[in-house]
C-alpha cells in the first residue's frame, strides 16, 4: 500500500476551482474552538483496559515525550475507564485511592509539566461500562471537578443509560463542560448507534462512528450472545463509507482508537491502519505501550509526512473513490489542492492498482508530482494517472 500526495503543477486555475468547490462553510451553533484538526494523543483502554494507575499513566506521559510522539504532535494523555470507584456523601466522584494515591489534580499537574494535556473518561449512564459510577445526574458536579483537576479532554461513554435520549444526555454534559469555563475537548462515545454524525456537530468535538475496534486486520464476528459484532480494522473502515461529509474542523467522525503496536497485526497491516486513519481525518489516539515500542511501530506512529495528511488544515475527511473487489483507492483533498491517496489491497495476492486523475478530482491533462510518504521519496511527475503494484498483507486470509 502506498500513500501519495499528488501536487498540482500545471492547470493551477482548475485546481483552485476544485478547492473552492470543496471548501465547506462551518456554521455551528456551538463551538469551543478546540480540535480544529483531529485530536492526537494516547488512551489507556486498548492495551490496559481496567489496569490503570498513576504510575503507569505518568510513565506513559514520559514515554510520549521520550519516544518522539509529543514532537510528532500527540498531546492528550487520556485515562479511560476504571479510575473511579464511588461517590462521597456529597455526591463527588471518588478516584481509586490505591491506584491514584496522589489524586487526579497531581496527576494532571504532572502531565501538564511535560507540556501535554490531560484526558479522562466518564459515562452518560448510572455506571460506566466497567460498572464504575457514571455521571447521570451529576454532570455539572463532575464537570466542575474535572476542571479543578485540570482536565482538558473528556471521553463520555454510553453504557447503562436505559431509555435516556442521546442528544439530551450529551447536550447536558456539553453544557456542564461549557459552564466550567475551561476549554475541554468533548469526545462522544455512543458507538454510532444513534447516528451521531447527524446531530453531534453542535454537541461534541468527535463522536465514535462504530463499536469497539479489535486488534485484527478484519474479523467481523458475532459476539457470544449473537449480537453484532467484534470489528476488525477493515470492518471499521467499511463503516466509514458515506460519513465524510459530516466531519470538519472541531467535529470529527471517530472510527475508534489506534491498535498500532498492540500485536494483533503485522507491521504492513499497522502501516495500512495508520494510513487509513490519517486519510479519514480520524482522531489519532494511540493505544499501545509507549514505553516499549519497536523501531518499526515508532516509525509508523511518528511519520510526520503521513500525520500532516491527517492534520491538514482544510479538515476534509477522505473517502473511498474507487473499489473493485479487494482493491480500493481512498483520497483526501488537502488545503493546497493536493490529494493524499491510499492504494489498498485487501486480497491475498499482490495486485496492480491504477488511479486515473479523474478518480481523485483532477482533469486527465494535469501533470502532477507524486510522492511516496512511507518511502519519503518523490516518484516523479506523472500525467493522467498513477499505477503501482500493491503487496498483499501476509497474515490475511
Q: Which residues of 240-265 are buried (b: 16+ CB within 10 A; e: fewer)?
A: beebbebbbbbbbbbbbbbbbbbebb
Is residue 331 within 8 Å of 312, Cβ to Cβ?
A: no
Q: Judged by CB under 6 A, which of 157, 166, 235, 269 binds ligand GAL? A: 157
In the residue annotation, 336 being an active-site residue is answered as no
Q: Catalytic one among 80, 81, 123, 157?
A: 157
Q: Nearest distance from residue 209's CB to ligand GAL, in Å?
A: 12
Binding mask 262-281 for ligand GAL (x = CB under 6 A): --------------------
Question: 264 near 297, Cβ under 8 Å?
Answer: no
- Is 157 among the catalytic positions? yes
Nearer to ligand GAL, 37 or 128 (CB): 128
CB of residue 86 to ligand GAL, shortest distance in Å = 17
Crossing angle of helices 104-113/54-66, nearest 10°? 10
CA distance 220 to 238: 11
**Which residues inside 51-80 make contact with ligand GAL, applying CB under 6 A?**
80
Figure out which of the listed residues 73, 130, 150, 384 binds ligand GAL, where binding follows CB under 6 A.
130
In angstroms, give the least distance from the CB of 78 to ligand GAL: 10
Least distance to ligand GAL, CB of residue 189, Å:
5
**Which of 45, 48, 277, 330 contacts ligand GAL by CB under 6 A?**
45
Which residue, 110 or 121, is less far from ligand GAL as judged by CB?
121
Between 157 and 289, whose beta carbon lies closer to ligand GAL? 157
**Residue 189, interface with ligand GAL (CB under 6 A)?**
yes
Taking CB under 6 A as the criterion, the residue among 64, 75, 77, 81 binding ligand GAL is 81
Q: Return the range that interacts with ligand GAL (CB under 6 A); candidates 26-34, 125-133, 246-254, 340-348.
A: 125-133
Determine the size of the site formed for ligand GAL (CB under 6 A).
10
Give catalytic residues, as residue numbers: 157, 212
Residues that bind ligand GAL (CB under 6 A): 45, 80-81, 128-130, 157, 159, 189, 212
Amino acid at each position: 500500500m502506498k500513500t501519495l500526495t499528488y501536487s498540482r503543477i500545471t492547470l493551477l486555475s482548475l485546481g483552485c476551482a476544485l478547492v473552492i468547490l470543496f471548501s465547506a462553510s462551518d456554521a455551528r451553533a456551538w463551538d469551543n474552538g478546540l480540535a480544529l484538526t483531529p485530536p492526537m494523543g494516547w488512551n489507556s483502554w486498548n492495551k490496559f483496559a481496567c489496569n490503570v494507575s498513576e504510575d503507569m499513566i505518568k510513565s506513559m506521559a514520559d514515554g510520549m515525550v521520550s519516544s518522539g510522539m509529543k514532537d510528532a504532535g500527540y498531546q492528550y494523555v487520556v485515562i479511560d475507564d476504571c479510575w473511579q470507584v464511588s461517590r462521597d456523601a456529597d455526591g463527588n466522584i471518588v478516584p481509586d485511592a490505591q491506584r491514584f494515591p496522589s489524586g487526579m489534580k497531581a496527576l494532571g499537574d504532572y502531565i501538564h509539566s511535560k507540556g501535554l494535556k490531560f484526558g479522562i473518561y466518564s459515562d452518560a449512564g448510572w455506571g460506566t461500562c466497567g460498572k464504575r459510577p457514571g455521571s447521570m445526574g451529576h454532570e455539572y458536579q463532575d464537570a466542575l471537578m474535572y476542571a479543578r483537576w485540570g482536565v482538558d479532554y473528556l471521553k463520555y461513554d454510553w453504557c447503562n443509560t436505559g431509555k435516556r435520549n442521546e442528544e439530551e444526555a450529551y447536550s447536558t454534559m456539553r453544557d456542564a463542560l461549557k459552564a466550567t469555563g475551561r476549554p475541554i475537548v468533548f469526545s462522544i462515545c455512543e458507538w454510532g448507534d444513534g447516528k451521531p454524525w447527524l446531530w453531534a456537530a453542535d454537541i461534541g468535538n468527535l463522536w465514535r462512528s462504530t463499536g469497539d475496534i479489535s486488534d485484527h486486520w478484519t474479523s467481523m464476528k458475532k459476539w457470544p450472545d449473537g449480537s453484532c459484532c467484534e470489528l476488525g480494522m477493515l470492518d471499521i473502515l467499511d463503516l466509514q463509507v458515506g460519513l465524510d461529509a459530516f466531519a470538519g474542523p472541531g467535529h470529527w467522525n471517530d472510527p475508534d482508537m489506534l491498535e498500532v503496536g498492540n500485536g494483533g497485526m503485522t507491521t504492513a497491516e499497522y502501516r495500512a491502519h495508520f494510513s487509513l486513519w490519517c486519510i479519514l481525518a480520524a482522531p489519532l489516539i494511540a493505544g499501545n505501550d509507549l514505553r516499549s515500542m519497536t523501531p518499526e511501530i515508532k516509525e509508523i506512529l511518528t511519520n510526520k509526512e503521513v500525520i500532516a495528511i491527517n492534520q491538514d488544515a482544510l479538515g476534509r475527511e477522505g473517502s473511498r473513490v474507487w473499489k473493485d473487489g479487494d482493491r480500493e483507492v481512498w483520497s483526501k483533498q488537502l488545503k493546497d489542492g493536493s490529494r493524499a491517496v491510499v492504494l489498498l489491497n485487501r486480497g491475498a495476492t499482490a495486485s496492480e492498482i491504477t488511479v486515473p486523475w479523474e478518480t481523485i478530482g483532477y482533469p486527465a491533462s494535469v501533470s502532477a508530482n507524486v510522492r511516496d510518504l512511507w518511502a519519503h521519496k518523490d516518484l516523479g511527475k506523472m500525467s493522467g494517472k498513477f499505477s503501482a503494484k500493491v503487496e498483499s498483507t501476509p497474515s490475511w486470509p
